[in-house]
Structures are given as C-alpha cells and as structure tokens.
Amino acid sequence: MPRSSTSSDVPPAGAGARATDASDVTLVEGVVAGDRIAFETLYRRYHPRLHRFLGLMTSRGAVVEEALNDTMLVVWRRAHTYNGQSKVSTWIFAIAWRTVRKALRTHDEPVETPHDDSASDDPGPEQRLSAGELRTALHGALGGLPAEQRCALVLAYFHDLPHAEIARIVDCPVDTVKTRVFHGRRRLRALLHDAAGGAAP
C-alpha cells in the first residue's frame, strides 16, 4: 500500500540550495588540496552559468571564452583565498565580474551617468518585436549600457540574484546596486523602444 505523504517527506525550503552550497564548498576544499577532479567538477558546474553571464556582458565571443577561462584559472590558483563568508557562487561570479570588467576596459564603454527616460504609454517593445527580434535587440541594448548597470541587470534578471548578493559580487553598497538596476532598466527600455521603432515597417 502506498505510503501517504507527510510534511516530513517534504524537504525544507532552501534545502536544495544549501546542499549545493555545501557541495561547492567541498569542491573548493578539494581544489585547495590540488584535486583536479574536484576542479573539473566545479568547472563543469559553473561553465553554463558563467558563459551566460559573460555572454550578456559582451557580444565578443573571444572575450567571453578568455574571461571564462581566466576566471576558472583564478579559482584553481587562488581557491585558498575563499574564506566562506559568502557562497562559492558569489565568490566565483565576483572573480568573473572583475575579469570581464578588466577586458571591457580595453574597449570603449558607455559611461555610467544618471539617465531620465520618461515613461511612455506607447506599446512596449515586447509587443512590437518578434521573440527572435526581441532577443537580438536585447543583446544590442545591453551593449549600450555602462558595464556596471549591465552587470546589475544581468545578475538580477537573468540569474535571479537578490540585490544583496549582487552587491557582494560587484563590491558596492546595496543601494548602489538598486540605483544601477533602476537606471539600467529605464535606459534598456528606451533602447529597446528605439529598436522596436526602427523595426517597424
């Protein structure tokens, strides 16, 4: 006879995330000990997430691959500097952010300045562009944002990270992250609106 489900059968909220965090810490400890299998496991685990993050930070494929490899090289060489005061994912994304920011500085980047885009009652770009056109326009519009705003938006909306964790990654106050997300969203919407207008027949 099937056993009825009880509350004890349901994992507590956040149990999966905590298990992943603990597994990540174990892998980092292995890397510190020189365990290449632990490093390869960590690399495979983070490769998709880092590739997505870096790919939204820059459209240059060569920069994405170089930044990803440089990030994981730092993880291999400096795993002993992980102090457990943040999640391993936060630590790794902070390395990735510093790495890609350094790479982007070799190119002309938009300057981060307050920007007041007036709200519009016109149909949003998502109503005026097809899914494929919207994806293309989104990537192009992200490239028009300052790196700091771009990073905050990507981590908040593509990686579902809370502002407090983003603040740890980019090493700034939480209020600064909120400001970057606010202005970044407004500028992004304006850029998408322009793209939608240009796409209209």
Residue indicated by tokens 């964790």: 165
In the predicted structure, residue 128 carries a pLDDT above the cut 50: no
Q: Are 31 and 84 within one domain?
A: yes
Residue 5 inside a domain? The answer is no
* Total tally of structural domains belonging to the chain: 2
Residues 6+ apart with CB under 8 A from 54: 63, 64, 67, 68, 96, 100
129-138: Cβ within 8 A, 24+ apart: 129/192, 129/195, 129/196, 129/199, 133/195, 133/199, 134/192, 137/191, 137/192, 137/195, 137/196, 137/199, 138/188, 138/192
Q: Are 22 and 84 within one domain?
A: yes
Q: Are 91 and 137 within one domain?
A: no
In the predicted structure, residue 32 carries a pLDDT above the cut 90: yes
Residue 184 inside a domain? The answer is yes
What pLDDT, in 10s, does the model give residues 68-106? 999 999 999 999 999 999 999 999 999 999 999 999 887
Q: Are 71 and 144 within one domain?
A: no
Residue 133 inside a domain? The answer is yes
User: Is the pTM above the cut of 0.85?
Assistant: no
- Better-predicted residue by pLDDT, 101 or 7: 101
